[in-house]
Amino acid sequence: MGKLLVYLKHYKKETVCAPLFKMLEATFELFVPLVMAAIIDTGIKGGNVSYVLKMGLLLIALGLIGLVCSITAQYFAAKAAVGFSTGLKHALFSHIQSLSFTEIDTLGTSTMITRMTSDVNQVQNGVNMVLRLFLRSPFIVFGAMIMAFTIDVKAAMIFVVTIPLLSIVVFGIMMLTMPMYRKVQAGLDKVLGATRENLTGARVIRAFNKEEEEIEQFGKKNAELTDLQLFVGKISALTNPVTYIIINAATIFLLYTGAVRVDEGTITQGQVVALVNYMSQILIELVKLANLIITITKALACANRIESIFEIQSSMTWEQTAEADKDEKKQAAEGNGKPQDAGADEQRQVRPADTSAMVPHAVDFDHVHLAYAGAGAESLSDIDFKVKKGQTIGIIGGTGSGKSSLVNMIPRFYDATQGTVRIDGKDVRSYSMEELRQKVGVVLQKAVLFAGTIRENLLWGKEDATEEELWQALATAQAKEFVESKDGKLDAVVAQAGRNLSGGQRQRLTIARALVGKPEILILDDSASALDYATDAALRKALRELPGETTVFIVSQRASSIQHADQIIVLDDGLMVGCGTHEELLQDCEVYQEIYYSQYPKTESV
């Protein structure tokens, strides 16, 4: 929890003012029993009505001042708590965004959603309650005990015994329940995970008529969470009755002792009433403190869970900026611009005739291996190939052969466990994130669109893209026709996750989104699977006609989608078992032959 308190630094005034005004309220509250004692002993006993009225007005004044202080304290506490949670959510979201795919896969979506929502809300509630009551309740408890000593020392000794007993009960229950609340939050993760899976896969569940089984499984997880919450709740519920028993027993002793002391003439009836009032104040505040302890226990458990996310560091480190590369290029340009001398002429004479050999490859996999975190075996082993700029590369293989894993290493979604991936002759790990993302455009297997308009989704590829560039990207992606047919065209509304679009329309829009940025390398990870053969062919033709030297990687299950590629890479169980043109692979690669002839009769092969 201590590490999270840094997000309160912008609310120092509020964190001081909230408890301060609560202390003022508590101070005025401690004077109330003394005023009541004076009314009884002086006003009522002496029949002085004016004195009673005067002291009654004083009681009203104390109540009003206390109310103003309480409202002011609540305002500052709420402002600090909400501001704290806002900063915490921003920082947590930013940290999660900085994690690599490896950490995100390990944590799981449901866990991160719980941390961002339920856990942060619990911590916010804890901060609010602490600012309001953490100092006030102990101040009232010990203040009431001190005020009792000013009235009568012997009677006040009951307070000395009662307060430690109550503290043992309250803090003992807190120590028991704190680890249990952690388990409750973990159980909440499971229920949230099951809920998310069911909502995401609702169509699949209904297609296989698995509603009853899923309801039963959800019921089991929910029942486990319910049982755990009930068990913790029963222990927490002991706080109030036990504290009431102790307080009421102390009150009985106090009344007995007070009666004896009044009979002896040591104290007055008003002072006994004051002592009972102080005991009642202690009871109320300790009940509040007990509830506060429960809230703090939950908040601390949630804070520890949030801290555990912050403690997870990304397995990837990025260059902060590309300024160093720019400086190097500038220096190189300046060096090339120097006056030519005899030495330069001599250099020109010995320069190789074939300058193309010095041009770095667009993409270079140098004996690359990849193993996912926690995996028993490598997903990719000894992948070695080079791609020239402007080439189209097809990647094909059976399910689970490592096709997506391979292309995910180019934009550095995952780092190679061995070997090196290079772009333009430079290790991808030495690029800044901004520079690498500008070079590589990715269209993932699952077409993901965001709520908004078509224009807003396309501008993710390039924020300052012109309308002409947007339409050009749509035309290349074979999406121009259906966008023009929609009301509003580029400003047509896209529902969350693109639910108001067909699968093929979503895929074409995600391809257009990647094309808007005009990347040097375009990766289509099985992103045309929902397209018909004619549209797929038109898309491939448009990609080949892209201006410049755009290197295209096409991952597909269809042999027709990649057979005209300059180079086809065939994967089988994480190994590269073939690399060449369509014709070469049909001659030499058994895996490619098996895939191709499973889709086309041998009489139709080329």
Distance (Å, rounded) from C-alpha 494 to C-alpha 455?
10
- Helix 153-200 to helix 269-311 angle, to the nearest 10 degrees? 30
pLDDT digits (tens, 9 = 90+) for 223-274: 988 988 888 888 888 877 887 888 888 888 888 888 888 887 787 888 888 8
Distance (Å, rounded) from C-alpha 279 to C-alpha 253?
11
| Structure token pair of residue 59 | 């009681």
What is the pLDDT at residue 1? 63
Judge contact between 569 and 576, C-beta under 8 A. yes
What is the pLDDT at residue 359? 58
| Sequence-ordered list of residues with C-beta below 8 angstroms from that of 529, at least 6 positions apart, any chain | 445, 507, 556, 557
pTM of the full structure: 0.68
User: Long-range contacts for 308-313 (Cβ within 8 Å, ≥24 apart)?
Assistant: 309/92, 309/95, 309/96, 309/107, 309/112, 309/115, 310/3, 310/91, 310/92, 310/95, 312/99, 312/103, 312/107
What is the pLDDT at residue 75? 92
Quickly list DSSP for 530-570.
Answer: TS-HHHHHHHHHHHHT-SS--EEEEE-S-HHHHTTSSEEEE
Residue 380 φ then ψ, to 5°: -135, 140
User: Which comes out higher in pLDDT, residue 48 or 396?
Assistant: 396
Name the strand (E) or helix (H) holding 381. Answer: strand 380-387
Inter-CA distances, 181 with 124, 227, 311, 524, Å: 16, 12, 21, 46
**367 conformational bin, left if phi > 0, alpha if psi -120 to 50, beta if neither:** left
Distance (Å, rounded) from C-alpha 421 to C-alpha 15?
51
Model confidence band, residue 346 (pLDDT cutoffs 50, 70, 90): very low
Fold of 363-604: Rossmann fold (3.40.50)
Q: Which of 406, 166, 179 is nearest to 281 (CA)?
A: 166
Quickly list DSSP for 49-72.
Answer: HHHHHHHHHHHHHHHHHHHHHHHH
| Structure token pair of residue 420 | 């090196």
Model confidence band, residue 519 (pLDDT cutoffs 50, 70, 90): confident
pLDDT digits (tens, 9 = 90+) for 96-152: 888 888 778 777 777 788 888 888 888 898 888 888 888 888 888 888 888 888 888
What is the pLDDT at residue 103? 79
Name the strand (E) or helix (H) holding 451. Answer: none
| Sequence-ordered list of residues with C-beta below 8 angstroms from that of 152, at least 6 positions apart, any chain | 261, 266, 267, 271, 275
The arithmetic mean of pLDDT across residues 182-200, rounded, is 80
The arithmetic mean of pLDDT across residues 269-284, rounded, is 82
566 burial (CB, 10 Å; 0-12 / 13-18 / 19+) is middle
| Sequence-ordered list of residues with C-beta below 8 angstroms from that of 5, at least 6 positions apart, any chain | none
Judge contact between 543 and 476, C-beta under 8 A. yes
CATH, domain 2-311, list 1.20.1560.10, 1.10.150.450, 1.10.1740.10, 3.40.50.80:
1.20.1560.10
Q: Where are the domains of the chain?
A: 2-311, 363-604
Judge contact between 368 and 386, C-beta under 8 A. no
Distance (Å, rounded) from C-alpha 471 to C-alpha 484?
10
Tell me how crowded residue 147 is: count the other CB atoms within 10 A of its CB: 20
The arithmetic mean of pLDDT across residues 278-294, rounded, is 78
Buried-exposed string 225-243: b where 16+ CB fall within 10 A, e elsewhere = beebbeebeeebeebeebb
Model confidence band, residue 355 (pLDDT cutoffs 50, 70, 90): very low
Q: Name residue 135's amino acid.
A: L
In this predicted structure, the answer to whether residue 350 has a pLDDT above a threshold of 70 is no
Residue 250 φ then ψ, to 5°: -65, -35
